[in-house]
A and B are shown apart, each in its own frame.
Chain A
Amino acid sequence: MLHLLTSFDYHTFMIMLSGDYGIVAEKVLKATWETIYMIFIATGLSYILGLPLGIILVITEKGHIAENLFLNRILAFLVNTVRSIPFIIFLILIIPLTRMIVGTSIGTTASIVPLTLAAIPFVARLVETSLKEIEWGLVEAALSMGATNWQIITKVLIPEALPSITLGIAITTINLIGYSAMAGIVGGGGLGTLAYYYGYQRYDNLILWTTVIVLIFMVQGVQTLGDKATAKLNEKRR
C-alpha cells in the first residue's frame, strides 16, 4: 500500500516538476519528495500514538482524573528509555522490527518505522507539557458539571491545549527532518542519503549544498506554518 502510494505520487510529481532541469535538480527533487513523504507519514503516525500516550501520562498522575501511579511510572520509564537512546543507535537496534513490519530495512518506507517509534515518546512529552499548561480549575469546573473522563479529554484538555499542541507538531516535524537525514545515512532514502552518497562519498559539493538549502527552506517553512496556525488558534482566545 505504502509502496504504491510512493511510486505513483513520485512519478506524477517528477513529470510535473522536473522536465529538463538536469540531473542535480532531478535527484534533489526526488530526494526532497522522499523526505516529505517520510516525515509526513512519520509525524502523522507518531501523533496517532503519541497523543494518547501523552494524555495518559497526564491523567494518570497523582490527583488527576484517572490517577494510576503504577501505569504512570511504567509509561514514563518507557518514554525516558526510548528518548535516552541516540537515534542513530535506535535505528540500528530496531532493524529486526522494521524488517518484520515492512519486509525490508532499506528505503523510505522502512525509515518510517524507526522515525515513528523514536518520535512517539517525544510527542508524548510535548503533549504532556501542553496539557499541563491548562489550569486545573477548568478540569475541576468540568468535573463539577458531572463530565466523564472522556468528555474532559475531548472537550476540555485537547481543545484548550490545541494552540500549544499545534506548535508541538511543528517542533516534531522539524525534529523528524533531522532524524530522517540520519536514517538516510544507513540507506533510508531522502535528502540524507543523497547528501551522504553524493556529497560525502563523491565530493559532489553542488548536491551537498543544494540539499542543505532545501533542508533550510523545509524547516523554515514548517516553523512558519506552525506559528501561523498557532496564532490563528490563539487569535480570539487571548
Chain B
Amino acid sequence: MNATERSRPRPLSAKGRRVWSLVRKETHQIVRDPSSIAVGVVLPVILILLFGYGLSLDVMNVPVAVVLEDPSPDAVELAAGFQLSPYFEARLLTSMSRARELMLARQVDGIVRIRPDFARHLSLGDAEVQILVHGTDANKARIIQIYAQGAVGQWTARRAAEGKDVAGGPVIVRDRLWFNEANDSHYFLVPGLVVLVMTLIGALLTAMVMAREWERGTLESLFVTPVRIDEVLLGKTIPYFALGMVGLSLCLLAARFLFQIPVRGSVWVLAGGSMLYLLVALGIGLLISTATKSQFVASQVTVLVSFLPAFMLSGFLFDLRSMPAVVRAITTILPARYYVAILQTVFLAGDVWGVIVPNAAVLAIMAAVVLLLSRVITRKKLD
C-alpha cells in the first residue's frame, strides 16, 4: 500500500532518524526534570567538592595529651618534639589522671606518657615512652601510633647526631612511596570519585528512567510503531553516555586544576577506559530496569548491586588485598574493580599497558555481555 512505502523510504536512514529522535526526546526530559539534573549534575559537583576539599585519610593535628612526669631536660626535649610535630596538637600535662579524663571525654585521641624515671632509665639504656591510643577508630589509631613512633625516632636520631649516646637501629628503613611521594590521600580518593560519578549516572539514572517508562506506560504506545528494541535502548544509552562524559570531564578538570592531581598517563586512555566502564554501567542499569519494571525496586537494586559495590568493593577505598578470599572472589565479577585499577594507574603511574590492557579487556567483555543481555530480555511485549 501507499502508506507502507512512504513509511519506509530507506531502511538505514529511517533507523538513524528514529534513534536520533529518541535521543532528542530523552535529552529534553533530562533537561526538564529537576531530579535527574540533581543526580546527574548537582550530586557529582557536590561529590567533587567533598572529595577534593573535605575528605582526606591523612591524619593531621591529632589532639594528644603529653604527660610529662619527668622534669629532666631529656624528657622535656622529647615532649617538645611532639609539640613541634605537624601531626599532633599536643597538650602538655603533668598528671596522668587528667589525661585519662580527656581521653574518656574524647578530647584527645592519644596519650604520650613520659614516666618520672625516664632520664634515669635512659642512662641505663632501656628508657620507655608509653603511647596510649583511643582504639575505636582502629585505622586512625594505627596512624597515630606510627606518627608517635616517628616522633620518638626523630628525637633519637637528633640525639645520635648530637653525639649523645643513643643507639639507633643497626638497620635503617629508607622508604619511598612511588606515584604519590607527598603521601596525599587525594591522589587515590579522586580516581575513586570518578568511579562513583560514573556509576551514579550510568546505572542509577538509567535504571530509574527506563523503569519510569514501564511504570508510566509510555512504552506501550511507542512499541506499536516501526521502532525496534535496539533503537529504544540506544535512545536511552546515548544521552546518558553523553551525560556520563560530561561528568567525567568535570571530574578530570577538577582533579587537574582544583586539586592538582597529575594525570601521568594519557587522557585518551583514561577516556577510553571510562567509556568502557560507562557502557557496562549503562547496560546494568538497563538490565535492572527491564527486570524490575518498577522505579522503587530498580533504585534499591541498583544501589545494592552497583553503587555500594563500587564504593566498598572496588578497591578504591578499601584495598582488595585486605579482603578475605571469598569476598575477593566476588569482586572479580564487579566492573568497578577493573575500572579503579585502570584509573589509579593512568592517573598516578602512567600508561602501564600491563595493567590497562587486561582490565580494559575485562570491561569490554562485560559491556558486550550486559548490553547484549539487556537487548535480549527487553521485548516489545506486555505479558
A binds B: no
Residues of A with Cβ closer than 8 Å to B? none
